[in-house]
Structure 1
Amino acid sequence: MKVAVLDINGKDTGRKVELSKDVFAIEPNNHAVYLDVKQYLANQRQGTHKAKERAEITGSTRKIKKQKGTGTARAGSIKSGVFKGGGRMFGPRPRNYGFKLNKSLKRLARKSALSMKANEKAITVLEDINFETPKTKEFKAVLKALNLEGKKSLFVLGASNNNVYLSSRNLQGHEVVNNSELSTYRIVNANQVVLFESSLEGIETNLSK
């Protein structure tokens, strides 16, 4: 699968790169994508929610009315959850929402997500760029040249490039990551995936194992 390489102005450089069929042209496994995205979102949850139960409420523990003869339900403590100001019944407790997935499944999920984007013509290959200093204005010019304004985009670097990363940080909906930080959620969440030319080798190496 050959894709044209674009320059910083969004124009064809005349060169083409071959995208690996084992990474960008497999039969997508939707369930693997679902599980990997579910795990990513679960790991974002802090799990610090907590409500006070009846044992943690300050209040009298005396029996508030006699057991029988009132015509109403029996009640032993004002701290019961059925009374105003009482403890929460079956309230949330701190917990870890994370769960484990096998590495092979996670690789399959990322390859499936990339293959989906390739089928949708939502992958762009851009020649490597660098900014002398971090400037949001320069990154916005790249977005405009690639017609990505108003769209969610994911830029994948071949190696760490602090100037490009910092130039994009203030722009909502646009993310810059290294090829080692590529995740299924980030791929699926983007309208367009922009792969820098130097990132292809790392992506294919990481996902072809």
Structure 2
Amino acid sequence: MEVAVLNIQGKETGRKITLSEAVFGIEPNNHTIYLDIKQFLANQRQGTHKSKERNEVAGSTRKIKKQKGTGTARAGSVKSPVFVGGGRIFGPRPKDYTQKLNKKVKRLARRSILSQKAKDGAIIVLENFNFEAPKTKEFTNILSNLGIQDKKVLFVLSDINKNVYLSSRNLPSVNTITASELNTYNVANATSVVLLEGAVEVIESILTK
């Protein structure tokens, strides 16, 4: 699959890059995409939720009224869950939500979502560039030139580039990562995926192991 390489003005450079069919041209496996996204979201959960049960609530254990003759239900403690300020019944407890997924499944999921984006024409290959200093305005100009200023964009760099990252950090619709950080959720969550020319080789080397 050949894709034209664009410059930061949004125009073709006259060069084309061949995207690997093994990464960008397979039949998408939707179930592996689902499994990888589910694992990613589950692993983001802190699992630190906690509420106090009746044995953890501060309060007197004095029997608050006599057992019989009141015409109401028996009550032995103000910490009972049926009273305001009492403990919670079966409340949440700290839990580890981490899930495991085989490496081969994760690689297949990432190849599948990239192939789907390529099939939809949502992948743009941009020539390598750099900023002399962080400038958000210059970055938004690039998005405008590419015609994706109003879309959710995933910007994939070949390596860490501090100036480009800082230039895009204030833009809520743009997510800038390196090729080694690429995951299924970020690709699926983006409307347009912009790959720097150098990032394509890194992605293909990772996903064709």
TM-score normalised according to structure 2 size: 0.94
SS of 1:32's partner is: helix
Q: 1:75-114 alignment to 2 at 5 Å?
A: 75-114=75-114
CA distance, structure 2, for counterparts of residue 75 and residue 108 of structure 1: 59
SS of 1:56's partner is: coil
CA distance, structure 2, for counterparts of residue 129 and residue 206 of structure 1: 22
Deviation at 1:62, TM superposition (A): 2.7
Deviates further, 67-76 or 168-177: 67-76
Structure 2 residue runs without a partner (length 5+)? none
Deviation at 1:76, TM superposition (A): 2.8
1:42 correspondence with 2:60: no
Q: 1:194-205 alignment to 2 at 5 Å?
A: 194-205=194-205
TM-score normalised according to structure 1 size: 0.94
CA distance, structure 2, for counterparts of residue 192 and residue 32 of structure 1: 21
Q: Which residue of 2 aligns with 1:22?
A: 22
Q: Which amino acid aligns with 1:133?
A: A
Deviation at 1:15, TM superposition (A): 1.1
Q: Which residue of 2 aligns with 1:8?
A: 8
The percentage of aligned residue pairs carrying the same residue is 65
Q: Which amino acid aligns with 2:37?
A: V
Deviation track 1:137-172 (CA, whole Å, cap 9, x = no partner) reads: 111110000011121101111122111111111111
Deviates further, 27-36 or 66-75: 66-75
SS of 1:79's partner is: coil
CA distance, structure 2, for counterparts of residue 159 and residue 79 of structure 1: 57
Equivalent residues, number: 209
CA distance, structure 2, for counterparts of residue 48 and residue 183 of structure 1: 25
Q: 1:50-89 alignment to 2 at 5 Å?
A: 50-67=50-67, 72-89=72-89
CA distance, structure 2, for counterparts of residue 153 and residue 108 of structure 1: 22
Structure 1 residue runs without a partner (length 5+)? none
Deviation at 1:74, TM superposition (A): 3.5
Q: Which residue of 1 aligns with 2:186?
A: 186
- Once superposed, what is the RMSD of the aligned Cα atoms? 1.4
Deviates further, 158-167 or 140-149: 158-167
CA distance, structure 2, for counterparts of residue 74 and residue 130 of structure 1: 74
Deviation track 1:68-94 (CA, whole Å, cap 9, x = no partner) reads: 565544333221101111101111112
CA distance, structure 2, for counterparts of residue 71 and residue 31 of structure 1: 59
